[in-house]
């Protein structure tokens, strides 16, 4: 690797702090230490970027540092999040010939597959919520004797590939390579991918690959648009959220019909068998959309405000009046179970997000537009786990955004309620989002 004293001086504190996390080992069991180390590592990351922006950075330096940090945390057990245990379980179920979109881990049909890890599975009553590409990766990983480590290695390799593609985007747009370090050496990214093993790394890679193909300047050719569409479909087949970036990518491809047609066809081909096998939309998806609620920056205060304002009784009166006026009792009766503050808040946020998505889609810069889409998703989502920031951080890195780096240091605070008798709202919620919102406001002044 091409390192000099300046590179080593900038990287050494980050490496030392990641080694400290490795020695901590059980990150959830030593949560205060973990939070302090992540905060310090985020500070030293910014100092490293500030220092290295004045020197040239070889590819080997950026990717070598990223590789070392990920290797350090690969042995760490996934104690902060148990999602990877669910990944392997779903892969085990599918590999045994059962349908994880229909059968939850608690189903008697898959009782024979239960093992010690089954006891630690999250949401045993909910069938899988992961799209076909992610599930295929889970099946592959579940076949080996070291399923968790194998899957983490695959995800870390995908993440390193993302770092390489970001270097290409930085070079293409004339940006200093030090910006890529905000993603490649980011402690939150390293923890959530190499440490906890979140499958979002696959979708992020496919999203960055889509933008890289389109940014190469050959997006006007039908073949290049089709290749970019393949990457875009892979992003959605890993996690559904990049679907909202398709309008940006299709418009920038200069072959809108080819891009959108190819991407849609691939998703339909992979998705229709799932819908047919489950007799409709997979129940896990419905459960996720209706019931999952955690740390949404606008959602958390909004639903509480609606509750204080007694909006649900007002809606009920409106439903009663509609029944009397129309006589369609059966039609309106189906809305009563949906009349509660959290779901009303989700509906309001979905409606309010539309103009923001339209504004994001109209951004001229492809990278900036993609980042804006994922930023809107985070702001208007009812659920923001720490690893959800993986979707925005590549684009925030290229923009050298201080607020998003600050958020990546603060969002691990949302792990606290899971392991301590402390409510997220209002204290921890404000500790995460108020500094970020203030920094974002100052940056945009």
The pLDDT value recorded for residue 193 is 98
Tokens at 70, concatenated: 């990920």
Q: Residue 32, Cβ neighbours under 10 Å: how many? A: 9
Domain boundaries, the chain: 5-79+148-280+383-444, 299-351
Q: Which helix (H) or strand (E) holds 272?
A: helix 256-278
DSSP string of 171-235, one letter each residue: HHTT--GGGGHHHHT-HHHHIIIIIT--THHHHHHHHHHHHHHIIIIITTSHHHHHHHHHHHHHH
Tokens at 84, concatenated: 């990877």
Distance separating the N- and C-terminal Cα atoms of the chain: 41
Place of tokens 């999602």: 83
The pLDDT value recorded for residue 219 is 43
Tokens at 11, concatenated: 């990287």
CA distances from 49 to 168, 178, 187, 438 (A): 18, 5, 14, 22
The pLDDT value recorded for residue 218 is 54
Inter-residue contact 72 to 41 (CB < 8 Å): no
Name the β-bridge partners of 295: 383
The pLDDT value recorded for residue 125 is 94
Which residues make Cβ contacts (< 8 Å) with residue 179, sequence separation at least 6?
49, 53, 170, 397, 398, 399, 400
Long-range contacts of 22-29 (CB under 8 A, 24+ apart): 22/72, 22/73, 22/75, 22/76, 25/76, 25/77, 26/77, 26/79, 27/76, 27/79, 27/80, 27/191, 27/195, 28/79, 28/80, 28/415, 28/418, 28/419, 29/79
Q: Residue 163, Cβ neighbours under 10 Å: how many? A: 25
The pLDDT value recorded for residue 165 is 98
Helix (H, G, I), strand (E, B) or coil at 114: coil
Angle at 175 between CA 174 and CA 176, to 5 degrees: 125
For residues 426 and 422, give the distance between their C-alpha atoms in angstroms, rounded to a whole number. 10
Which residues make Cβ contacts (< 8 Å) with residue 438, sequence separation at least 6?
none
Per-residue pLDDT of the chain (445 residues; tens, 9 = 90+): 567 888 889 999 999 999 999 999 999 999 999 999 999 999 999 999 999 998 999 999 999 999 999 999 999 999 999 999 999 999 999 999 999 999 999 999 999 999 888 998 989 999 999 999 999 999 999 998 899 999 999 999 999 999 999 999 999 999 999 999 999 999 999 999 999 999 999 999 999 999 999 998 654 567 889 999 999 999 999 999 999 999 999 999 978 999 999 999 999 999 999 999 999 999 999 999 888 999 999 999 999 999 999 999 999 999 999 988 998 888 889 889 888 999 999 999 999 999 999 999 999 999 999 999 999 999 999 999 999 999 999 999 999 999 999 999 999 999 999 999 999 999 999 999 999 999 999 988 7
CA distances from 317 to 248, 320, 321, 333, 401 (A): 41, 5, 6, 12, 46
Long-range contacts of 429-433 (CB under 8 A, 24+ apart): 429/295, 429/300, 432/295, 432/407, 433/297
The pLDDT value recorded for residue 270 is 96
For residues 367 and 386, give the distance between their C-alpha atoms in angstroms, rounded to a whole number. 22
The pLDDT value recorded for residue 327 is 87
Q: Residue 225, Cβ neighbours under 10 Å: how many? A: 27
Nearest to 118 by CA among 152, 149, 92: 92
For residues 19 and 68, give the distance between their C-alpha atoms in angstroms, rounded to a whole number. 10
CA distances from 411 to 275, 282, 331, 419 (A): 35, 30, 42, 15
């Amino acid at each position: 690797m091409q390192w000099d004293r300046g590179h080593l001086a900038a990287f050494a504190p980050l490496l030392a702090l990641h080694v400290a996390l490795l020695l901590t080992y059980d990150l959830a069991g030593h949560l205060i230490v973990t939070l302090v180390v992540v905060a310090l590592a985020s500070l030293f990351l910014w100092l490293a970027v500030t220092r290295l922006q004045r020197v040239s950075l070889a590819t080997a330096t950026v990717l070598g540092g990223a590789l070392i940090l990920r290797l350090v945390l690969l042995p760490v057990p996934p104690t902060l999040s148990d999602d990877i245990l669910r990944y392997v379980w779903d892969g085990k179920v599918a590999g045994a010939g059962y349908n994880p979109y229909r059968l939850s881990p608690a189903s008697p049909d898959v009782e024979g597959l239960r093992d010690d890890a089954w006891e630690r599975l999250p949401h045993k009553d909910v069938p899988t919520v992961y799209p076909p590409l992610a599930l295929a990766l889970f099946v592959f990983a579940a076949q080996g004797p070291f399923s968790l480590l194998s899957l983490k290695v695959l995800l870390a390799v995908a993440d390193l590939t993302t770092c390489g593609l970001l270097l290409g985007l930085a070079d293409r747009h004339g940006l200093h390579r030090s910006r890529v370090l905000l993603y490649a050496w980011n402690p939150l990214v390293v923890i959530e991918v190499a440490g906890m093993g979140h499958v979002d790394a696959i979708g992020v890679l496919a999203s960055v690959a889509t933008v890289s193909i389109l940014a190469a300047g050959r997006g006007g050719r039908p073949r290049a648009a089709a290749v970019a569409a393949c990457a875009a479909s892979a992003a959605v087949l890993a996690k559904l959220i990049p679907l909202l970036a398709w309008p940006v990518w299709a418009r920038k491809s200069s072959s809108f019909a080819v891009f959108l047609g190819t991407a849609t066809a691939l998703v339909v081909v992979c998705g229709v068998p799932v819908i047919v096998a489950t007799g409709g939309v997979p129940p896990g998806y419905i459960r996720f959309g209706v019931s999952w609620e955690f740390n949404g920056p606008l959602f958390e205060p909004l639903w509480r405000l609606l509750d204080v304002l007694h909006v649900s009784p007002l809606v009920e009166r409106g439903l009663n009046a509609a029944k009397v006026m129309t006589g369609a009792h059966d039609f309106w009766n189906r809305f009563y179970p949906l009349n509660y503050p959290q779901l009303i808040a989700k509906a309001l946020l979905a409606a309010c997000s539309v103009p923001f998505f339209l504004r994001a889609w109209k951004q001229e810069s492809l990278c900036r537009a993609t980042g804006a889409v994922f930023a809107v998703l985070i702001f208007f989502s009812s659920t923001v786990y720490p690893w959800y920031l993986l979707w925005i951080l590549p684009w925030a890195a290229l923009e050298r955004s201080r607020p998003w780096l600050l958020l990546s240091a603060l969002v691990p605070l949302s792990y606290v309620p899971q392991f301590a008798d402390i409510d997220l709202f209002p204290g921890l919620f404000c500790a995460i989002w108020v500094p970020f919102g203030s920094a974002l406001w100052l940056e945009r002044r």
